[in-house]
């Protein structure tokens, strides 16, 4: 498994990262433990979680994912073998993340509460990478990298990026957090984080976790240059377009236990043009003799601005297929055909 440098740190992380957001909902504790065992065996040393998880977010399940990882750390003693990343929620109307029922936002008190609870859940005394799950400010669209701009009002009592960094800086100084990152962030927001670290005594962001896939390459528009020049590498999520690029939902299929079957949450991939694009990429993989999931993951890993590609699976056979993508190098012919399809379809699922 290829190892890549995390930002400007001395930490090396695997080119594939184990996503865990199904642990505690679609996957049991035993299944989560089995996935972590297998991922570590195959050279993955990078796990990603969030205080929000599992998905879909619910008061009744919040925190289960971290607790499953924590029980694995305790049982196996493998904490020192893993670069552990987790996240604090940004501004949200969801009111079950804090004990007092307060709606989520990035105040000092909320961040400090969140990190302490994550440490307890994970049964560790430090988090390697602590990420802002999404901005405190109101943005034009979730993911902060829209293809169409929509004006939004400024949030009341908006917490500034500088104030957020000051809190995170104190967490780094305390030893609870080693490094920090952002997620679902824009080019403007990322550069504000970087600039603040140059002007003030606050830590530098080392990564950005945004959606990136064959049907959503919006990261390339403005953020790729930021990632390259500022060493804020992409931790790409949804590289399989939440399963669509595996082909399992083709022609209206609804496999038992799949996320769409259970939760019907994948509408961003159900526009007519998106389905056409997905089918074109699936056909390309078939014509090239490639597994479509492996082609999609290998493409994401091949991008120079990507530090690691986050993958998630509910069944072990899916995980085995996905991790095997680490050994796949796409030919120049396949890459040219991918770019030709992108020229035709653009970003139909931003």
What digits encode the pLDDT tens for the residues 192-236?
Answer: 999 999 999 999 999 999 999 999 999 999 999 999 999 999 999
- The residue segments making up the domain with residue 209 are 3-244+291-329
> Is residue 266 one of the residues assigned to a domain?
no
> Is residue 54 one of the residues assigned to a domain?
yes
Give the span between the Cα atoms of 191 and 189, in whole angstroms.
5
Residue 270 confidence (pLDDT) above 90: no
Answer for the pair 65, 23: CB distance below 8 angstroms, yes or no: yes
Catalytic member of 53, 130, 244, 269: 53
Q: Please report which confidence band the pLDDT of residue 142 belongs to, taking 50, 70 and 90 as the band edges.
A: confident
Answer for the pair 51, 66: CB distance below 8 angstroms, yes or no: yes
> Is residue 98 one of the residues assigned to a domain?
yes
212 assigned to active site: no
Report yes or no on whether pTM surpasses 0.95.
yes
**Number of other CB atoms surrounding residue 272 within 10 Å:** 8
DSSP-based three-state secondary structure for 142: coil
Nearest to 64 by CA among 52, 75, 82, 79: 52
> Is residue 274 one of the residues assigned to a domain?
no
> Is residue 215 one of the residues assigned to a domain?
yes
* Alpha-carbon distances, residue 96 vs 49, 59, 92, 189 (angstroms): 18, 6, 10, 27
Average pLDDT, rounded, for the chain: 96
> Is residue 264 one of the residues assigned to a domain?
no
> Which carries the bigger pLDDT value, residue 88 or residue 269?
88
Angle (deg, nearest 10), helices 316-323 and 292-301: 50
Angle (deg, nearest 10), helices 332-345 and 292-301: 90
Residue 239: give its domain's CATH number. 3.20.20.100
Q: What is the DSSP letter of 79?
A: G
The total number of structural domains that make up the chain = 1
């Amino acid at each position: 498994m290829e190892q890549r440098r995390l930002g400007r740190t001395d930490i090396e992380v695997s080119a594939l990262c184990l996503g865990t957001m199904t642990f505690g909902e679609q996957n049991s504790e035993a299944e989560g433990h089995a996935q972590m065992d297998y991922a570590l065996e195959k050279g993955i040393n990078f796990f990603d979680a969030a205080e929000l998880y599992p998905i879909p977010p619910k008061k009744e399940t919040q925190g289960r994912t971290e607790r499953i990882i924590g029980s694995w750390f305790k049982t196996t003693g493998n904490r020192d073998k893993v670069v552990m990343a987790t996240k604090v929620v940004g501004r949200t109307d969801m009111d079950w993340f804090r004990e007092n029922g307060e709606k989520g936002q990035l105040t000092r008190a909320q961040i400090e509460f969140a990190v302490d609870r994550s440490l307890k859940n994970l049964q560790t005394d430090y988090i390697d990478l602590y990420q802002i799950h999404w901005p405190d400010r109101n943005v034009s669209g979730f993911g902060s990298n829209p293809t169409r701009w929509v004006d939004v009002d400024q949030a009341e009592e908006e917490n500034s990026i500088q104030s957020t960094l000051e809190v995170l800086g104190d967490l780094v100084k305390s030893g609870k957090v080693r490094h920090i990152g952002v997620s679902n962030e824009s080019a403007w927001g990322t550069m504000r984080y970087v600039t603040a670290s140059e002007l003030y005594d606050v830590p530098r962001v080392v990564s950005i976790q945004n959606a990136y896939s064959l049907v959503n390459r919006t990261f390339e528009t403005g953020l790729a240059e930021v990632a390259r020049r500022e060493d804020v590498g992409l931790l790409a999520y949804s590289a399989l377009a939440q399963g669509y690029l595996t082909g399992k939902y083709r022609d209206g299929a609804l496999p038992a236990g799949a996320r769409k079957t259970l939760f019907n949450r994948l509408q961003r991939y159900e526009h007519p043009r998106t389905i056409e694009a997905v089918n074109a990429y699936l056909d390309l993989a078939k014509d090239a003799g490639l597994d479509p999931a492996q082609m999609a993951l290998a493409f994401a890993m091949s991008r120079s601005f990507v530090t690691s590609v986050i993958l998630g699976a509910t069944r072990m056979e899916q995980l085995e297929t996905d991790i095997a993508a680490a050994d796949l190098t796409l030919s120049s012919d396949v890459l040219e055909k991918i770019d030709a399809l992108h020229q035709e379809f653009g970003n139909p699922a931003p």
